[in-house]
Amino acid sequence: MSDTILKVKDLKIQFKTGKKTVQPIRGVDFSIKKGETLGVVGESGSGKSVTSLAVMGLLPEKTSEIISGEIVFDGKDLTNLKEKHFRKLRGNDISMIFQEPMTSLNPVFTIGEQLSEPLKQHKKMSKKEIETAIIAVLTQVGIPRAEQIIHEYPHQLSGGMRQRVMISLALLGQPKLMIADEPTTALDVTIQAQILKLMKDIKKQHDMSLLLITHDLGVVAEMCDRVVVMYAGEIVEVAEVKELFDNPLHPYTRGLIESLPSKNTRKNRLYSIKGQVPKPNEITKGCIFANRCPFAFSKCFEETPPVQHTGNHMSKCWLQDSNKDEVS
Amino acid sequence: GCTEGTSGQDEPSSDGNNDQKAKDSLVIGFEADAGTLIANLDVNYTTDTQIRNIYDSLIERDGQTGEYIPSLATDWENVDELTWRLTLKEGVKFHNGADFNAESVKFSIDYILDEANQSFYRSRWANVEEVKVLSPTEVEIKTSVPFPSLVQRITEDLLIMEPGYVEEVGTDVAAKEPVGTGAYKFVEWSRDNFLKLEANEDYWQGEPAIKEVEFRYIPEFSSRMSAFLGGEIDFFKNIPVDSVAEIKNTDNAKIGEVSSARINYLALNTFHDGPLQDVNVRKALNYAVNVDELLESILNGYGTKMTGPLAVINSSYVETDDYGYDPDKAVELLEEAGYDPEELTLTLDTPNGRYPMDSQVAQGIASQLQKIGVQVDVKVNEWGNHLEKIQNREMGDMYILGWGPAFDPQSTIENLFTEGAPYSSFYDEKIEAKIQETNAIFNEEDRFEGYAELQHDLVEQSAWVPLWQQADLYAIKEDLNFEPRVDEKMQVFEMSWK
Amino acid sequence: MLDFIIKRFFQVIVVVLLALTVVFFLIRISGDPTTLFLPPDAPKDQIEEYKELLGYNRPLIVQYGDFMFHAVQGDFGESLRSQEDALGIVLSRIPATFQLAISALLIALIIAIPLGVLSAYKRNTVFDKVGVALTIVGQAIPSFWLGLILIYFFAAQLKILPSGGGGTAIHLILPTLTLAAYSVARFTRFTRSAMLDVLRKDYIRTSKASGVPTFRLIMRYALRNSLIPIITLVALDLGVLLGGAVITEVVFSWPGVGRLLMQSLMNRDFPIVLAGVFIIALIYALVNFIADVLYAYVNPQIRVK
Amino acid sequence: MSSSLPQNEQALENRVKPKRKSAIATFFSNLSRSWTGLIGFIIIMTLIVISLIGQWITPFDPYFAEFSKKLLPPMTEGHLLGTDQLGRDIFSRIILGARVSVIIGLATALIAGLIGTIIGIIAGFFRGWIDIILMRIVDVTLSFPFILLVLVINAIIGAGLRNIIISLAVGGWVIFARVIRSEVLALREKEFITACIATGVSRFEILIKHIVPNLFTPIIILASLQIGTYIIAEASISFLGFGVAPPTPAWGNMLNEGKDYIFSSWWLITFPGLAIVITALGVNLFGDWLRDTLDPELKGE
Amino acid sequence: MEAKTLLEIKNLKKYFEISQGMFKEKINVRAVDDISFSVREGETFALVGESGCGKSTTGRTILRLTDPTDGQIVFKGKNIEKLPYNQMRALRNRMQMVFQDPYASLNPKKTIRQILMEPLRVHNKFPREERLEKINNMLKIVGLSEEHLDRYPHEFSGGQRQRIGIARAVILQPDFIIADEPVSALDVSVQSQVINLMLDLQEEFGLTYLFISHDLSVIEHMTDRVAVMYLGKIVEVADTEELFANPRHPYTQALISAVPISHPDEEKERIILTGDVPSPANPPSGCSFHTRCPFAMDICRKVEPVSKEFSNGHKANCHLYTDSENKEEKEYAINHS
Ligand SMILES: Nc1ncnc2c1ncn2[C@@H]1O[C@H](COP(=O)(O)OP(=O)(O)OP(=O)(O)O)[C@@H](O)[C@H]1O
Ligand SMILES: Nc1ncnc2c1ncn2[C@@H]1O[C@H](COP(=O)(O)OP(=O)(O)OP(=O)(O)O)[C@@H](O)[C@H]1O
Ligand SMILES: [Mg+2]
Ligand SMILES: [Mg+2]
């Protein structure tokens, strides 16, 4: 598949904390095509960030371990890539925007200093050229007074501005893949709308792939071509965005969509999923969602459900399977 | 009278040209800085010892016997009970070229007497009424009362300053850049660091053998010791007795020892309400303390045992009875006094590091008294507190203290055993009367007689537990000619390299 | 900015004056020094006279007012012992103390910062663990004992270094090492943990994501952030060093303020004690003040243009 | 478990319900996981035990001067660590000296901690002028290096165990006051305190029932870290001749007395010094561990 | 039916003076700048607006958790803005608060029993023996059980803690509860559980809510009336349905249009605001929204607009609707909104 830019196969990641180990990523499979926007939705702790960090090779070296699976970027396996080679990719072929614009910029360096870094690392450019390039990108993301801003420090900018700076940082290397980890969660709705629009435009202009991580189904609906639904370190459903909203197969996805207030009659009780997201150390055998699933039956508690493909729509639920032999 | 001091021991080193190494400088490791370099101000061993190389006194002491010998004064005599006349040496010049004469003597004494100068010596000189210049070589000193110890004051306190210089530069400068008639001229003084002197080629007693002298201030013994072992300093004083062997074992080093004029004693406080007001208890303590053992085991034998109030070196010393060590007798006496030794607890205060092994001696005494059952609480005081407690009469039963220099009977006895003097805290009505009586005697023989009686009385009364005359211990370079003096002074003029 | 400096300076002065007040009363309450200065055979009336001369028999509050009145003009009276200007004596000892404290500080920084950075970078390796263990031990060794042990080895046994006295660079070696030891341990630990803190920060991840190589990441991006807290610590520790210098100066016979203060305490030379207290409190307050300014300067978040 | 009703979140609850251990058991299981903390704890316990029963387990009378046996090197005539300049057994004196260190460390931490905490609470809770005054006092105290301050106070009020505790406490309370004040200030802003106000709890009750209990952790951590400082400070001051006076054996004054023997009898300064180092090490290790366990955020003061 | 007014806020102001560290001048933050509104008995009144616009401050000032700088707070006909602490305490069993952060709002050192007992004890509510029973009842209502009584907050999940927080507020059976973003810190799947709980409780106890949120879809779902805040001021008030159907103020329009779609097929005409929210320390002159307003006119820069009432209870502060020149411009704007 030459049009696949990134392929993640059966990824399992484990963390060591003290003597204990937790495995927050337990088999993640997905791929992104060139020019595609893939959304990853999931509640807090479902492993979205860990997955994206794994793609960037930014997992903490000492405490984390990819125990199996592979990450193939542009035909290259990144799983065992040496740090030296990884560095060539980062900020150049793959770049990333982080969740917290307030803390993701170094407070003691000017915007200019920080933005020049990917260019210094990856491109042979003179100081002057670097500055011109930076100002160009800043202007492109809609930052006024770019010439002055490059001499200012992060704390002098508002949250929205900082996130724009982060986006321009990610754009500077003209990456093939951009990963955005909840780029708007910390922002206000009006600013969120600005940033989302900006990202849409930019993506179009630069013809890159976008891996958009979020917990907000609305953002997904707005931005994505395809969606991956994660729950407790596993992928429970993957589908085209329309397909997902029209025909969610996994009870979890269904629950998420159903519980949107706009799907419920005003002033009435909302549909809700019972219980809460399990922590990585609370996971037992069977389906991870079984204990919250309104449709769960005994099998769900015993065996991990298989991956079901219906065309491009993938889900991981015994219900799909049971449709075939059992009656639910 | 005496003429120019050449008592055998002094080896004026003008004939020191036989030294081939041509080493002519000397570094003395010294424990503390001088308070000031002006004379006649600071009553302090560290100050006095150093500036005596710059200034001369009118009368000196023989380094070994402690006897008076003439210095800038060639002769002194009593005209009457209230008048003293001193004849001065001629042709002596100050470092700045000015002449030494009667005016400078008057100036120096007046300096002490002038309240504005806040001299700490003033109280000792309070009896001096007037100094009269009779001629350039003669002065007369008038006292308000008969003042037999004036000679001692002149010897111990008075150093001669150059009036013209002091008046010209003021006391502040004179205190930093002193001018005297002494064997050494001032070069440089770095506070808490060093004092550098150079030989006074025109010194009236001859050219000093050692041309450059440095007092280097090193307060810690261990630092002094390592400086000595490393060859940075040539000699230093106050070796802990336990380090003597170490120095003896070192190449090119010897130990200098002298019985100094400082005495150590165990004061028995009769001002404190308690058993010590009973003479039998005091006697018992005299029997129970084994001075020989203390001397031998704690001081490694460095010290000269005393039996009475005065040391052998004292001009009026007479031999008195030794109580000796007799624990049984001690117990007996205690019981006689109505005390059960097992029930008796006494306090013993001691300074720490002021006298050789002082706090250890105190703990030794405590151990010895423990043997007859008496419990002793040893309290180790910081020196300032110790002194304050003594002067404020806040001491308990016993304390350890030293006194010196103890050449003269009056100063020792008066300052230790009278009601007003706190330093031994012994008081007895009859003895007090006798002391006052003896002090006023002008006739030398009667005076001697009086003090002899007093010594016996004091021993009889067990006024204190006499311990010993301190041994001053010096670590000295093997090839340095240096004979430690009884008065603790370090007269570099007397020293030379072999 | 000027406003701030003036305000801070005012604060410094208030603090120093209050400090003087406290020490003044403590000292006066503790007794008077006459006994130590007059010869032991001085009669009572001269003691009284002397007290009067020094003004010690006036009401305490009058003495205090008088003292303060002169103190604010830099006049702490004359040393009881040498009758020289007390402040002058103290000031003349400052260079020696500074020499010791600054060289110890420099040594500590030169050793500690690279060590701390390396330790943080190689965290959980054997190197790091040994380093951390050493710093813990280093902080547990009292300086006077370390001084004695150094003297024992280098002066008494090996006889290669002098154990005390002032002046030359050689004399400086042992006292500097003694004084620096604690700070080395402390700085190393602090640098390590500051560095670890910074390395965990989001913005470091951002830099990594831009492809910054590790060495550059640490030396340029992480270090500058860590330096901000380190600067404050260093300034604070200069005070600790000045305090520690008392002990080191005594052990090594170093002619600095600390030793002077010790001796004056022993001698009850109170004008010197007060002048010394004044100078040390002032230096300490100034150093903290400078630390604040420096901190503001290196930290763009509170810097003004 | 998994067979129980899945819909009920109770099921999950029960599965993950933490096993409740007693506080002591938790303490030891935590401790056993960190060898540094364990070493620290063992050293501290040993020290405390020694200081309690020390006088009965010394092989020799630590006060008794046996002149004939002075300055014996270690391991001679039954003297494990040798004898001192008066022939007293050094090992016995070190054992008895532990008491001074333990008393000083604990008593000072207690007094300084108590005073500092109360002042910190008052300043932080009531704010206003009282805060300003108290903090100025803190500034004044902090304008001296700690050891110098203690030294000056001790030199002025005189030597002795009680006085050294006083002077250490006078120098030491400020750090508690500072830390506790800022803790209180932070707590005051915490939402659960706001919640108390919203509930209608009286100010006094808020202070006593909600703020104070949340101060225990920082107090304990701080105290445990300060104890080492106090022990070393006591030794330093005794070493300079101002602290605990001989013949009471304290490690600092043993060093002071022994320092003149550095050229002849190394054991006089070596062993008391080691005792101090080991003690300070133990206290620091334990304090560090406590801090890391109780409050990983409080790192670095 | 016209319900009684429970709470009335008149010209409330709250300014904070904050120091900017040692080197900078102090600044005056106008967190709440002259707002007025009233809450009727039994309704859910919403405050919506972007971060920092002063929603929480309004809520906290009403409960007197901070003192107002100026203005009146009338609760049940009684002015409470100046009541001293101890008198205010007595009133607190009538008005309660649910906090945003379920982790920070429970004392970590107290068990659930202690946390829930405290309000009862303080207000001396119910006889002593009955209190435990009441607590157990309450726990059941919020979906917890007796066995949780002796646990500490850290042993609960975020959703559970928020329910404990709600239980604490409701156990006194107050008339009025201010809920400051009660669900925004929660996982999506748990959010709906808590919203349901709040709806249930309102029904059961007849509560009045002041519901603070920035999540417009939640507001649309569960509130009766909405006030939109911008930079410390209320720019528009209306019944919820009216507001969402017919927003008047350009800011409200932008806000509503910025909400992400809920289905990919949904087409949405967006008003994308330019720029950031200005700092409340230094609010723009005139209409504070003029810096970002797509329809800003000259007058907006100079004159602060006054409130204009449209239909029943629908008010907005905007020059577009006041009588003045620029008619054309205004018409254009209104037609295109
Ligand atoms: N460095 C780490 N060490 C140990 N565990 C970690 C580490 N990083 C993440 N985890 C765990 O991995 C799990 C997944 O975390 P992750 O950050 O990927 O969640 P997320 O989906 O991004 O959630 P959020 O929406 O809160 O950002 C969590 O349970 C987290 O505790
Ligand atoms: N205690 C305080 N001291 C100083 N300024 C404050 C304080 N509390 C709030 N502010 C300021 O007041 C303004 C309004 O804050 P407030 O918390 O009311 O906003 P909000 O609308 O609740 O925002 P959010 O959605 O972020 O909770 C902000 O600029 C904030 O910085
Ligand atoms: Mg995340
Ligand atoms: Mg808020």
- pLDDT, tens digit, 9 for 90 and up, residues B1-37: 333 333 333 333 333 344 444 678 999 998 888 888 9
Same domain, C23 and C134: no
Residue E336 has pLDDT above 60, yes or no: no
Interval between CA C197 and ligand 3 midpoint (Å): 20
- Residue closest to B203 by CA, chosen among B498, B494, B497: B494
Q: Do D16 and A279 touch (CB under 8 A)?
A: yes
Which structural domains are found in chain E, ordered by start?
Answer: 5-94+174-335 (3.40.50.300)
Interval between CA E121 and ligand 3 midpoint (Å): 42
Q: Do E193 and A272 touch (CB under 8 A)?
A: yes
> Which residue has tokens 């001269």?
C46
Phi and psi at B42, nearest 5°, equal -100, 115
Contact B214, B26 (CB under 8 A): yes
Please state the domain extents for chain A.
4-93+175-262+270-327, 103-174
Percent of chain D with pLDDT over 70: 90
Same domain, C252 and C196: yes
> Quick one: average pLDDT of B159-170?
92
Position D20 scores a pLDDT of 54
Same domain, C257 and C136: yes
Is position C86 within any domain?
no
CA distance D42 to chain B (A): 34
Chain B CB contacts of C82 below 8 Å? 35-36, 42, 175
Q: Do E23 and C8 touch (CB under 8 A)?
A: no
Please state the domain extents for chain D.
33-62+74-294
A43, A190, A217: residue with CB nearest E50: A190
pLDDT band at B474 (very low <50, low <70, confident <90, very high): very high
The 3-state secondary structure of chain E, one letter per residue: CCCCEEEEEEEEEEEEEECCCCCCCCEEEEEEEEEEEEEECCCEEEEECCCCCCHHHHHHHHCCCCCCCEEEEEECCEECCCCCHHHHHHHCCCEEEECCCCCCCCCCCCCHHHHHHHHHHHCCCCCHHHHHHHHHHHHHHCCCCHHHCCCCHHHCCHHHHHHHHHHHHHCCCCCEEEEECCCCCCCHHHHHHHHHHHHHHHHHHCCEEEEEECCHHHHHHHCCEEEEEECCEEEEEEEHHHHHHCCCCHHHHHHHHHCCCCCCCCCCCCCCCCCCCCCCCCCCCCCCCCCCCCCCCHHHHHCCCCEEECCCCCEEECHHHCCCCCHHHHHHHHHCC
Q: Which of B223, B296, B297, B392 to mutate to test the interface with D (most CBs of D within 10 A)?
A: B297
Q: In sequence order, what DSSP letters do the residues of A78-125 get, joined into one string?
A: -TT--HHHHHHHBTTTEEEE-S-TTTSS-TTS-HHHHHHHHHHHH---
C124, C203, C301: residue with CB nearest A104: C203
Q: How many residues does chain D have?
A: 301
CA distance C276 to chain A (A): 39
Q: Which residue type sits at D50?
A: I
Task: Summarize pLDDT for E236-290 with one digit per residue, the tens.
Answer: 999 999 999 999 999 999 999 998 888 888 888 888 888 888 888 888 988 999 9
Beta strands at E70-75 and E78-79: parallel, antiparallel or unpaired = antiparallel
Q: Do C15 and D143 touch (CB under 8 A)?
A: yes
Residue B249 has pLDDT above 90, yes or no: no
Task: Summarize pLDDT for C106-162 with one digit per residue, the tens.
Answer: 999 999 999 999 998 888 788 888 888 888 888 889 888 898 888 888 877 787 887
The CB of E281 under 6 Å from ligand 2? The reply is: no
CA distance E202 to chain A (A): 11
Position B409 scores a pLDDT of 82
Task: Summarize pLDDT for A29-72 with one digit per residue, the tens.
Answer: 999 999 899 999 988 888 999 999 999 988 888 788 888 899 99
- Chain-wide mean pLDDT for chain B? 86
Contact C185, C138 (CB under 8 A): yes
Neighbours of chain C (3+ CB pairs under 8 A): A, B, D, E
The CB of A52 under 6 Å from ligand 1? The reply is: no
The domain that holds C181 is classified in CATH as: 1.10.3720.10
Neighbours of chain A (3+ CB pairs under 8 A): C, D, E
Residue E21 has pLDDT above 70, yes or no: no
Please state the separation of Cα C183 from the chain's center in Å: 11
* Residues E120, E126: Cα–Cα separation, whole Å: 7
Q: Which residue type sits at A24?
A: P
Neighbours of chain D (3+ CB pairs under 8 A): A, B, C, E
Minimum CA–CA partner of C7 in chain E: E22
Specify whether the backbone of B150 is left (phi greater than 0), alpha (psi in -120 to 50) or beta. Answer: alpha
Closest-approaching ligand to the CA atom of E60: 2
The total of other beta-carbon atoms located within 10 Å of residue A203's CB is: 19
Position B18 scores a pLDDT of 42
Q: Which ligand 1 atom minimizes the distance to the CA of A45?
A: 19
- Sign of the C-alpha dihedral, residues B390, B396, B401, B405? positive
The CB of E61 under 6 Å from ligand 2? The reply is: no
Residues of chain D short of pLDDT 50, as ranges, are 1-19, 296-301
Position C305 scores a pLDDT of 39
Q: Do B243 and D158 touch (CB under 8 A)?
A: no
Chain A CB contacts of C204 below 8 Å? 106
Contact B420, C43 (CB under 8 A): yes
Q: Do D6 and A293 touch (CB under 8 A)?
A: yes
Minimal-distance CA residue to ligand 2 atom 11: E31
- Decide if E167 touches D, using CB distance below 8 A: no
Q: Do D148 and C240 touch (CB under 8 A)?
A: no
The 3-state secondary structure of B177-226, one letter per residue: CCCCCCCEEEEEEECCCEEEEEECCCCCCCCCCCCEEEEEECCCHHHHHH
Cα angle, residue D289 at apex, residues D286 and D291 outer, rounded to 5°: 110
CA distance D50 to chain C (A): 20
Q: Which of A225, A272, A288 to mutate to test the interface with E (most CBs of E within 10 A)?
A: A272
Its pTM stands at: 0.82
Residue B365 has pLDDT above 70, yes or no: yes
Closest-approaching ligand to the CA atom of A215: 1
Lowest mean pLDDT among B98-102, E2-6, E68-72, E129-133: E2-6
The CATH H-level (homologous superfamily) assignment of domain A4-93+175-262+270-327 is P-loop containing nucleotide triphosphate hydrolases (3.40.50.300)
Position E58 scores a pLDDT of 95
B226, B243, B352: residue with CB nearest D246: B352
Please state the separation of Cα B213 from the chain's center in Å: 23
Q: Which residue has the higher pLDDT, B299 or C253?
A: B299
Position B10 scores a pLDDT of 38
Determine the structural domain holding residue C179 and report its residue range: 93-267
* Residues B293, B299: Cα–Cα separation, whole Å: 9
Position A27 scores a pLDDT of 87
Number of domains in chain C: 2
* Residues B119, A134: Cα–Cα separation, whole Å: 80
D18, D192, D197: residue with CB nearest E104: D192
The correct CATH number of D33-62+74-294 out of 1.10.15.40, 3.30.590.10, 1.10.3720.10, 1.10.260.40 is 1.10.3720.10
Position C219 scores a pLDDT of 87
Closest-approaching ligand to the CA atom of A48: 1
Position D165 scores a pLDDT of 92
Interval between CA A223 and ligand 2 midpoint (Å): 31
Position D17 scores a pLDDT of 46
Minimum CA–CA partner of A195 in chain E: E272
Residue B145 has pLDDT above 60, yes or no: yes
Q: Write the CB contacts of A126 (distance below 8 Å, at least 6 apart in sequence).
A: none
* Residues E47, E210: Cα–Cα separation, whole Å: 7
* Residues B43, B21: Cα–Cα separation, whole Å: 38
CA distance E24 to chain C (A): 7
Tokens for B169, please give them: 């530069």
> Which residue has tokens 């009686």?
B453
- Decide if E124 touches A, using CB distance below 8 A: no
Position E324 scores a pLDDT of 56
Q: Could you tell me the CA-to-CA distances from D200 to D195, D204, D206, E153, E201 in Å, in that order?
A: 9, 12, 10, 21, 22
Same domain, C128 and C176: yes
The 3-state DSSP composition of chain C as helix, strand, coil percent (nearest 5) reads 80, 0, 20
Task: Summarize pLDDT for B398-447 with one digit per residue, the tens.
Answer: 999 988 777 778 878 887 888 877 788 888 888 888 888 888 787 878 88
- Decide if C3 touches B, using CB distance below 8 A: no
The CB of A62 under 6 Å from ligand 1? The reply is: no
Contact B22, B34 (CB under 8 A): no
Interval between CA A48 and ligand 3 midpoint (Å): 6
Same domain, C18 and C138: no
- Decide if E308 touches D, using CB distance below 8 A: no
Position A32 scores a pLDDT of 93
- Residue closest to A271 by CA, chosen among A259, A253, A289, A256: A259
Residue C40 has pLDDT above 80, yes or no: no
Task: Summarize pLDDT for A90-112 with one digit per residue, the tens.
Answer: 888 999 998 888 889 998 899 99
Position A116 scores a pLDDT of 92
Minimum CA–CA partner of E158 in chain A: A276
Same domain, C260 and C194: yes
CA distance B72 to chain C (A): 25
Interval between CA B43 and ligand 3 midpoint (Å): 80
Q: Do D195 and E122 touch (CB under 8 A)?
A: no
Q: Which ligand 2 atom minimizes the distance to the CA of E50?
A: 25
pLDDT band at B103 (very low <50, low <70, confident <90, very high): very high
Interval between CA C241 and ligand 4 midpoint (Å): 47
- Sign of the C-alpha dihedral, residues D203, D204, D210, D213? positive
